Structure 1
Amino acid sequence: MSEIKLVNIGFGNIVSANRIVAIVSPESAPIKRIITEARDKGVLIDATYGRRTRAVVITDSDHVILSAVQPETVAHRLTSKETAAADEAEEIDTK
């Protein structure tokens, strides 16, 4: 069974890293359109706690998650988790 990886998207909100397709900035018109369509379809999750949206996380289930954390920060958290898991696997293999 595969290991479930989680990534913090701010304010204690956690998303399954395996389900993330993209982490993008909300500034462009196409992303704003995606947000509007997701809101209309009922698949928008607002995890900003009333703060400004800085990152939009798109999942493989077509859910759109709004985060108040910068996209670079979310991506760094995602890659650092994967790197840490790979390092742990290497340590186990070398023992």
Structure 2
Amino acid sequence: MNIGFGNVVNTAKIVAVVSPDAAPVKRMVQNAKQIGKVIDATQGRRTKSVIITEEDHIILSALQPETLVKRFHFNADELKGETDEL
């Protein structure tokens, strides 16, 4: 799934897509930065969503969570069509 600026994420590994505004999310991002588990895909723009993966990596995106969820569902529908053809 494209998360902006040509960056892509394996949707099978996504656990959650959340807004970065809540204090617990800010703490989670800060802790992940300290242990080197943050991937910043914002290209220097403001972080609008935080993607949490199965491996506890935190991915920062400049796209709204709603936009990412729409792309997630579009990709899931697209993949479902491919498996139906097999």
Shared fold (TM-score greater than 0.5)? yes
Q: Within the alignment, does 1:17 sit opposite 2:11 as a pair? A: yes
User: Which residue is equivalent to 1:36?
Assistant: 30
The answer for unaligned runs of 5 or more in structure 2 is: none
Q: Which amino acid aligns with 1:87?
A: G
Letter in 2 for 1:50: G
Which blocks of at least 5 consecutive residues in structure 1 are unaligned? 1-6
1:58-88 residue CA offsets vs partner (Å, 9 max, x unmatched): 0000000000001111111111111122234
The residue number in structure 1 matching 2:40 is 46
C-alpha separation in 2, matches of 1:52 and 1:41: 22
1:47-86 correspondence to structure 2 within 5 Å: 47-86=41-80
**Moved >2 Å (runs of 4+):** 87-90
Query: Which amino acid in structure 1 is aligned with residue 72 of structure 2?
Result: L
Q: Secondary structure at the residue paired with 2:55?
A: coil
Structure 1 length normalisation: TM-score? 0.85
> 1:83 and 1:76 mapped to 2: Cα distance?
11
Among all aligned residue pairs of Structure 1 and Structure 2, give the percentage whose two residues are the same amino acid: 49
Larger CA Rg, structure 1 vs 2: 1
Task: Please report how far the alpha carbon of residue 89 of structure 1 lies from its aligned counterpart in structure 2 after TM superposition.
Answer: 3.4
Please report the TM-score for the alignment, with normalisation by the length of structure 2.
Answer: 0.94
How many angstroms apart in 1 are the aligned matches of 2:41 and 2:81?
30
In 1, the alpha carbon distance for the partners of 2:34 and 2:17 equals 21
Q: RMSD across aligned C-alpha pairs, in angstroms? A: 1.1
